[in-house]
Amino acid sequence: MAMHYNETSPRKNVSEPIVRVEKLEVNFDGFKAIRGLDFALSAGELRFLIGPNGAGKTTLLDVLCGKVKPSQGKVLFKGQTDLARHQEHQIAQLGIGRKFQAPSIFVTLTVQENLLLSMRQKRGLLSTLVAKTTPEQRERLHHYLEMIGLTDKAREKAGSLSHGEKQWLEIGMLLIQEPELLLLDEPAAGMTDSETEKTGELLHRISDKQTVVVVEHDMDFVRQFAKTVTVMHEGTVLCEGTMAEVQNDDRVAEVYLGRRGERND
């Protein structure tokens, strides 16, 4: 029987938001993809972003990782740092990791070589694959291999992994850099049922220590694994709450299904 993660209260008891977005606007050649959006995220949350196509979910992630610059508004990280004033690589250094849908693993390297490369990149060492691994690095490697469920495949070539395993490896490559905030775009897309289930469990394990934002279209996945859901529509936040709360919100039904009662006109 599948375990449900959304039966407890939607938010953990945490104080200052790790991210606070105020009056955000993003303009693409005159088109406002984000319009006056306010959004806050507590440290240690696992937050799902849902909403119809074109709602602005990916654009919001793009702003948080610095790929897209806002035309107006503030994007505060840990209360002080305005991300709008930083470049993408600086934001990565500040501790925000983004996983895109397109894979970026090295298929000819083994699982553990991919993880080691990713770990050393963050540390700025001149290490190569032949560099000696320190006991601390080895411990970290084992910890994250275990976390993503690939300990038994550590020495296999990344190219031989299943689609789901490749996605976990990529998440592992982000995790091993120990970001405080992790941004994921449809992490379970294209996975089998069993891989999807494992991915949901992985997200919960990650959010024990880190904050995670997931853009997701698969409502079954959201229903099973989300505690707090933010529904976006036309570049702004429509509502927020548990999946049960947002499902019962008339505005959500309207944007997903069209206006109620119109057929009786």
Ligand X SMILES: Nc1ncnc2c1ncn2[C@@H]1O[C@H](COP(=O)(O)OP(=O)(O)OP(=O)(O)O)[C@@H](O)[C@H]1O
* Chain centroid, CA 31 distance in Å: 25
Compare residues 29 and 265 and give the one whose CB is closer to ligand X: 29
> What is the CB-side half-sphere exposure of residue 201 using CA atoms within 13 A?
11
Question: 5-34: which residues touch ligand X (CB under 6 A)?
Answer: 28, 31, 33
DSSP-derived 3-state class of residue 9 = coil
d(CA 155, CA 181): 28
Q: How many residues bind ligand X (CB under 6 A)?
A: 11
Q: Are strands 17-28 and 31-42 parallel, antiparallel or unpaired?
A: antiparallel
For residue 216, the minimal CB distance to ligand X (Å) is 9
Compare residues 120 and 233 and give the one whose CB is closer to ligand X: 233
Tokens representing residue 87 in the block? 């470049």
Using CB under 6 A, pick the residue from 17, 56, 66, 172 that binds ligand X: 56
The stretch near ligand X (CB under 6 A) out of 39-47, 56-64, 72-80, 135-143 is: 56-64
State yes or no: residue 193 binds ligand X (CB under 6 A): no
For residue 116, the minimal CB distance to ligand X (Å) is 33
| CA dist list (Å): 249 to 7, 149, 240, 245, 253 | 18, 37, 10, 7, 7
DSSP-derived 3-state class of residue 41 = strand
Using CB under 6 A, pick the residue from 6, 17, 46, 59 that binds ligand X: 59
State yes or no: residue 66 binds ligand X (CB under 6 A): no
x/- mask, ligand X, residues 78-117, rule CB under 6 A, reads ----------------------------------------
The dihedral of CA 213, 217, 222, 224: what is its sign?
negative
Q: Which residues bind ligand X (CB under 6 A)?
A: 28, 31, 33, 51, 53-59
